[in-house]
Amino acid sequence: MKDIDEIDSITRALARVDPGQPGGRPSDAGARTLLASITAEEPGPFVARPRRRRPRRLALGLAGAGLLAAGIVVGPSLLENGVSPSYAVTKNSDGVVYVRVRDFSDVKGLTRQLAELKVPAMVDYVSPGKQCQEPRGTYVEDIPPGLYSVPENIPGDPGRGWQMRIDTKLFKPGQTFVWTISEGHTSTILMDGPIAPCVPEDRPEPKEIKRDYRVATLKGRSLAGLRVDEKTVGEVLPELRKRGSKITYLVMGIPPGNPGGFGELRTQSTPVGDDWIVWEAEESIRQPGVIRLLVTDRRYDRNPVYGGPRDDVIKE
């Protein structure tokens, strides 16, 4: 028999991709498309969980059959109000409350419903252009993740009100959810201890921010026709360098759950990793040739700049 090393070298020579070498690159378009299509679905654990729990659920069902049937508690006033209330507050048996607000002036209705469902909340309505004088209490700095979602559109009914999700189990004793709502403006602050009543005051006119940058990839702009969204920094840079652009980076902060929208963590000219993700390119309005890439250090399930695919928002 030939010796072991010889057999192994012969086998190695048969490899289509040389041993030790990678096949495809995860940054390639096909690899990224695949990753996106896989993670577009719910991951396994969330799907598999009910199956694993089946025996336990059976036992529970025997112990208190009525309890499971009433998984969702609906505030009595909602039932009284009829089918299309200005507020809808529902509470799952796991303590998660869903609030939908359509009419912004019926504060009493919402307050009552929240109280019925034992959500520690205080709601105030202020007329447009007003706000409650702050501070009304002690702000909670350490907000547990998942306590509430940022207000978002009601699915299938955009533009009319908003909805949010609150996990009442995560409230600590003495904490109150302080809401100030108004047309087109909602403030949600978690506070600790006693809370002063709302004293309306004029809301300062939003300062007109002198915009320094605008989207660069639109028709007539400096990068017209170039698509950078959802690509990696490594893929985008060669083209920009070819065009002689001076490049800066806006590092985006993405709120939990990536509901669409982003904050600015910092702007820097120091290069970021080639595997960072670009979501859009902006150009400086006053300094031609300066391009600012909106980037995150990892890929998200949808473009935070547009709350989804760029093509759904920009039609050219």
Partner 1 sequence: MNSERARFEAVYRETYGRITAYAVRRCNSPQDAADVVAETFSIAWRRMRELPDGEEAALWLYGVARKVLANHYRGENRRQARSVELDAEMADLYGASPDSGVELKAIAQIFRTLSDDDREVLSLVAWEGLDRQEIAAVLGLSRNAVRIRLHRARRRFARALAEADVRFMAESRLIPAERSL
Site residues (vs partner 1, CB under 8 A): 1-2, 4-26, 28-31, 33-35, 37-39, 41-48, 256-258, 275, 298-299, 301
Shortest reach from residue 228's CB to partner 1, in Å: 17
> What is the DSSP code string of 78-110?
HHHH-SS-SEEEEEETTSEEEEEE--SS-HHHH
Q: Nearer to partner 1 by C-beta: 1 or 69? A: 1
Shortest reach from residue 50's CB to partner 1, in Å: 13
Q: Nearer to partner 1 by C-beta: 1 or 63? A: 1
Per DSSP, which regions of 153-261 are E strands?
Answer: 162-167, 175-182, 185-192, 200-202, 213-215, 231-232, 246-253
Contact between residue 214 and residue 283 where contact means Cβ atoms under 8 Å apart: yes
Strand-strand pairing, 175-182 and 121-125:
parallel
* DSSP-derived 3-state class of residue 218: coil
Q: Nearer to partner 1 by C-beta: 16 or 210? A: 16
Shortest reach from residue 48's CB to partner 1, in Å: 7
Q: Collect all residues with Cβ–Cβ distance below 8 Å to 77 and sequence separation of at least 6.
A: 109, 112, 113, 116
Task: Give the 3-state secondary structure percentages of the chain, helix then strand then coil, rounded to 5.
Answer: 25, 30, 45
Shortest reach from residue 310's CB to partner 1, in Å: 18
Q: Nearer to partner 1 by C-beta: 6 or 239? A: 6
Separation of alpha carbons 242 and 234, rounded Å: 13
Shortest reach from residue 27's CB to partner 1, in Å: 8
Separation of alpha carbons 37 and 34, rounded Å: 5
Q: Nearer to partner 1 by C-beta: 26 or 174? A: 26
Q: Nearer to partner 1 by C-beta: 193 or 257? A: 257
How many Cα atoms within 13 Å fall on the side-chain side of residue 64?
Answer: 4
Q: Nearer to partner 1 by C-beta: 7 or 79? A: 7
Amino acid, res. 233: V
Shortest reach from residue 52's CB to partner 1, in Å: 9
Q: Nearer to partner 1 by C-beta: 49 or 211? A: 49
Separation of alpha carbons 21 and 18, rounded Å: 5
Shortest reach from residue 39's CB to partner 1, in Å: 6
Name the strands in the sheet holding 185-192, side by side, starting at the edge strand that comes first in the sequence.
121-125, 175-182, 185-192, 138-139
Q: Nearer to partner 1 by C-beta: 26 or 158? A: 26
Contact between residue 130 and residue 181 where contact means Cβ atoms under 8 Å apart: no
**Bridge-partner residues for 101, per DSSP?**
87, 162
Q: Is 58 left (phi over 0), alpha (psi -120 to 50) or beta?
A: alpha
Shortest reach from residue 283's CB to partner 1, in Å: 29
Shortest reach from residue 153's CB to partner 1, in Å: 20
